[in-house]
Amino acid sequence: MSAAIEVRDLTRVFEGSKRRGRERDEVVALDHLDLVVDEGQVHGLLGPNGAGKTTLVKILSTVLLPTAGSASVLGRDVVRETRAVRPLIGIVFGGERGLYGRLTALDNLRYWAALHRLADAEGLRRAHELLDRVGLHERADDRVETFSRGMMQRLHLARGLVGDPPVLFLDEPTTGLDPIAALDFRRLVDELRGEGRTILLTTHDMVEAEAVCDRVALIDRGTLLAVEAPRTLATWIARYERIDVDGASEEVLAQVRGLPGVSAVNRREDGGARIETDADGATQQVLRTLVDHGITSVQTSLPNLTEVYVHLVGDRGLEV
Amino acid sequence: MEGWLIPFRGAMRFQLRALRRTPTYLMVLVTIPSYTVIFLALTDQADRPDLFGAAVLAPVLIAMWGVAIWVAGMIVRGDRFLGVLEAAIATPTPYSVVLLARILVVTLAGWVAMAETWLTAWIGFGVVIEIPHPVTFVLTVALTTLAMAATAVIMASAFVLSRVANTFATSASYPFYVLGGVLVPVALLPAWVQPLSRLVFLSWSSDLLRDSLALAPVTNVAGRLAAIAVLTVAGFAVAAWTLGRVLHHVRETGELAFR
């Protein structure tokens, strides 16, 4: 399998504001990043805000130049062969921006089709086909500003596909979507994978990454921490569980603290306690201990990405 | 070249739709009758009916240039505000071609200003402006529209660089009006300015338009139209190059979406 996206030693430094009597601040968004995404893969780029995900997507989509290093899409260098790269890529941004709200969905897509050099008739056919595909055909002639967030997101995807690109960048595509809309969107991504497109998807949602990606790159402060299969993420999620408990005495908590696989026990402000585990099977043991002491007001939950980060990379993972 | 025609047409169609939804693109049409009254009142007071044609052309040309500049800024600012600019830059079509097409549509629509001034002259002063050389007039109007749109793309570069480019664009317009012979024919300008003004397409346009409103035969029409055409092509070449450099710069600084 050949590489659709190849990133070598990629560095991007942003110059911050200059303060009186001091040197201009510098922000390192990408720090000697290496990444390879195989053709036909859905590759997740997972990291907290400020990790460098969007910076990487911007460089790959030719709207930002790297400070050092190289990046290529289907063998074309994004800096030296910009014109050759642009017909190969589609970009889908998250949120409500990126569309002309006062115009209809059809007008929007026809415009982007023209910019991808599809002749009038072909552009119209493609626009209708895509609106049908993302379930917006009935709303083709409605102004985009009247759309719900989920509908806008589907239109974003249609816009990204209008040039029929073999490589697609999805930048936080499900941000702000309700669960049903997010699920629909993931189904569409799954279909695109079936068509053999390469997709680089940035997200800070671990569950989403697990649901749609073949591989997931964990990125923090512009460096690559690991590239894993989603299965590994599932293991992390299962391992790092948290238990919220009410009515536990200090004695009970001290006993829990001594159990194997318990990584932290902290009092909450409301008087309850939060217990965190970091090993398989530890949660069951904690629950058994609590129940043995007659404590039944217990709630378990899976960690979010930030909490997994705390476990994996320490507190620095939270600083952006 | 052929590859640009499809996006060019598509961007024109898009802008036409946007114009219907956003009539503020043509706000300048509101101020035009007032300018026309001022210019006509001056010529009327001076008892110079021979200058009525020039008096109605001046506000039209000022309005047209104003529309072109205003729209160039509005498109860039709008695309940036809506978060569309980055996606537009990442398409296979140069942004300069998109801008040219979109500015051209609004500038074309801006010729409604001409009907306004003609009407103002007729209703306000009882003056009927005739066009003794209609073919020359129409050809000049067509070429001038294209030239204005092409030149406005240069200004668009300033809007990509800065959010406050409006002030710059407005200020830069005044020397343009002088060199373009909009208010005072180039022949009446100081001798040392005249060669410089010949590098501005508007100087050829305004002279030719004024001549086409006069009864006397218009001389060297083809040559003068060719001068406008050459300056249009040169203007767009400069615009495309400048915009390309500016976009490269903001891709380098990472300020494409934020400026």
CB contact under 8 A, A63 and B251: yes
CB contact under 8 A, B21 and A102: yes
The answer to whether residue A141 neighbours chain B at the CB level (below 8 Å) is: no
Count of residues for chain A? 320
List helix spans (H) across chain B. 2-21, 28-45, 52-81, 85-89, 95-109, 112-125, 134-161, 165-179, 194-197, 201-213, 221-253
Burial of A87 (0-12, 13-18, 19+ CB in 10 A): middle
CB contact under 8 A, A63 and B86: yes
The answer to whether residue B88 neighbours chain A at the CB level (below 8 Å) is: yes
Tell me: pLDDT of A11 over 90: yes
Closest CA to B173 of B191, B195, B200: B200
**Residues in chain B within 8 Å Cβ distance of A28:** none
Which whole-number Å values give the CA distances from B90 to A115, A301, B8, in the listed order?
10, 42, 16
Give me the pLDDT at residue A136, please.
93
Calculate mean pLDDT across residues A246-271: 90
CB contact under 8 A, B92 and A115: yes
The pLDDT-based confidence of A218 (bands split at 50, 70, 90) is confident
B-contacting residues of A 8-67, CB under 8 Å?
A: 12, 14-15, 58, 61-65
Give me the pLDDT at residue A95, please.
72
Write phi, then psi, for A215 (nearest 5 degrees).
-135, 155
Calculate mean pLDDT across residues A174-190: 82
A52 to chain B nearest CA, in Å?
A: 13
B97 to chain A nearest CA, in Å?
A: 10
Give me the pLDDT at residue B111, please.
83
Structure tokens at A144: 């985009």
A108 to chain B nearest CA, in Å?
A: 8
Burial of A2 (0-12, 13-18, 19+ CB in 10 A): exposed
The answer to whether residue B245 neighbours chain A at the CB level (below 8 Å) is: no
The answer to whether residue A114 neighbours chain B at the CB level (below 8 Å) is: yes
Is-contact B247 B76, C-beta < 8 A? no
The answer to whether residue B251 neighbours chain A at the CB level (below 8 Å) is: yes
What phi-psi label fits residue B48: left (phi over 0), alpha (psi between -120 and 50 degrees) or beta? Answer: beta
Count of residues for chain B? 259
Burial of B47 (0-12, 13-18, 19+ CB in 10 A): exposed
CB contact under 8 A, B18 and A102: yes
d(CA B58, CA B139): 18
Q: What is the amino acid identity at position A56?
A: L
Structure tokens at A40: 């036909």
B161 to chain A nearest CA, in Å?
A: 15
B-contacting residues of A 59-98, CB under 8 Å?
A: 61-65, 83, 86-87, 89, 91, 93, 95, 97-98
Question: What percent of chain A lies above the pLDDT cut of 70?
Answer: 90
Is-contact B107 B64, C-beta < 8 A? yes
Which whole-number Å values give the CA distances from B55 to A48, A238, B133, in the listed order?
63, 80, 18
Calculate mean pLDDT across residues A293-318: 68
Give me the pLDDT at residue A311, please.
63
More confident position, B41 or A17: B41
Calculate mean pLDDT across residues A92-117: 91
Calculate mean pLDDT across residues A119-141: 94
Calculate mean pLDDT across residues A235-257: 85
CB contact under 8 A, B90 and A62: yes
d(CA A142, CA A164): 24
Is-contact A282 A302, C-beta < 8 A? no
d(CA B46, CA B76): 43
Tell me: pLDDT of A265 over 80: yes
CB contact under 8 A, B252 and A115: no
Calculate mean pLDDT across residues A195-209: 87
Which whole-number Å values give the CA distances from B78 to A74, A99, B67, B203, in the listed order?
33, 11, 15, 31
Is-contact A47 A204, C-beta < 8 A? yes
The answer to whether residue B252 neighbours chain A at the CB level (below 8 Å) is: yes
Tell me: pLDDT of A316 over 50: no
Give me the pLDDT at residue A30, please.
94
| Helix/strand number for chain A, H first, E second | 11, 14
Calculate mean pLDDT across residues A15-33: 79
Q: Which residue in the block uniquely carries the two structure tokens 């017909």?
A: A87
Give me the pLDDT at residue B123, please.
93
3-class DSSP assignment, residue A170: strand
**Residues in chain A within 8 Å Cβ distance of B252:** 65
B147 to chain A nearest CA, in Å?
A: 23
Tell me: pLDDT of A315 over 50: no
More confident position, A143 or A278: A143
Handedness of CA A164, A170, A176, A179 (dihedral sign): positive
d(CA B153, CA B75): 11
Tell me: pLDDT of A212 over 70: yes
Comparing A31-40, A59-68, A241-250, B135-144, the range with the smallest average pLDDT is: A241-250
CB contact under 8 A, B91 and A115: yes
The answer to whether residue A273 neighbours chain B at the CB level (below 8 Å) is: no
CB contact under 8 A, B82 and A61: no
Report the mean per-residue pLDDT for chain A.
87
Report the mean per-residue pLDDT for chain B.
89
Calculate mean pLDDT across residues A293-297: 90
Question: What percent of chain B lies above the pLDDT cut of 90?
Answer: 49
The answer to whether residue A110 neighbours chain B at the CB level (below 8 Å) is: yes
Task: Enumerate residue ranges in chain B where pLDDT < 50.
Answer: 259
CB contact under 8 A, A93 and B87: yes
Comparing A26-35, A222-231, B187-196, the range with the smallest average pLDDT is: A222-231
Give me the pLDDT at residue A307, please.
62
Is-contact B99 B156, C-beta < 8 A? yes
CB contact under 8 A, B22 and A14: no
